[in-house]
Amino acid sequence: MRIQLLTANKLITGLFCLLMSICSWAQVKPVILVFGDSLSAEYGLPRGTGWVNLLEERLVIDKSPWSVFNASISGETSSGGLTRLPALLRQKNPGIVIIELGANDALRGLPVNQTEANLRKMIQISKKSGAKVLLCGIQIPTNYGQTYTMQFKRLYSQLANQEQVQLLPFFLDGVATKPELFQPDRLHPNVEAQSVLFKNVWGSMAPYSNLLKKSP
């Protein structure tokens, strides 16, 4: 009986250690958190055709251990993003956070200093969690007024410099001036534009290229 109990205890201990190893692996699996609005949420596009999906495919091609979690929501503002981000950082423990927000703030004419404050807090809490950050800059048409347009454009480079994070100066570079790359609403890029958006993001992630080859 004593031998049977010892054997059973060893079996239980072994199973427990295996379970803990699996849980530990799941917790440290590297994640890229994409945190944006409709420009990253495949608004008006067939599922699986957005730039985030192209990023996932590239990581697979490169045999990178990293995965992508797209937490983008159509219509999201910087204030809504700031509300959602802390829980996602705890749940996903990302190694890289891509922040693509601000367009809806501008569409609503929200104060630039409010957008800046929200984005700054998102950057700071992402860095505090241990994640590296890529900030995607947004630019708006001049019909919003020259002063507002310039202030909005500058806030991204200022934030990136002050918070020492990687910057994609203009997320829609190569797309914004080409009507044929937009859906009929003239606000959302179409399927053909997604490869351009992916290249913009991927190019800005170049400083993280070595990191993406291994688990952090």
In tens digits, what is the pLDDT along the chain, a chain of 216 residues?
Answer: 555 544 545 555 555 444 444 444 444 679 999 999 999 999 999 999 999 999 999 999 999 999 999 999 999 999 999 999 999 999 999 999 999 999 999 999 999 999 999 999 999 999 999 999 999 999 998 888 899 999 999 999 999 999 999 999 999 999 999 999 999 999 999 999 999 999 999 999 999 999 998 776
What's the CA gap between 25 and 46, in Å, rounded?
Answer: 33
Point out the catalytic residue in the list 40, 79, 185, 195: 185
Rounded Cα distance, 102 and 36, in Å? 9
Residue 108 CB neighbour total at 10 angstroms: 9
Q: Quick check: is 185 catalytic? A: yes
Domain boundaries, the chain: 29-213
State the pLDDT at residue 5. Answer: 47
Choose, from 38, 40, 64, 78, the residue flagged as catalytic: 38
| CATH top-level class of 29-213 | alpha beta
Residue keyed to tokens 């008006």? 44
Give 133's DSSP letter. E
Q: Quick check: is 126 catalytic? A: no
**Which residue of the set 67, 74, 79, 188 is catalytic?**
188
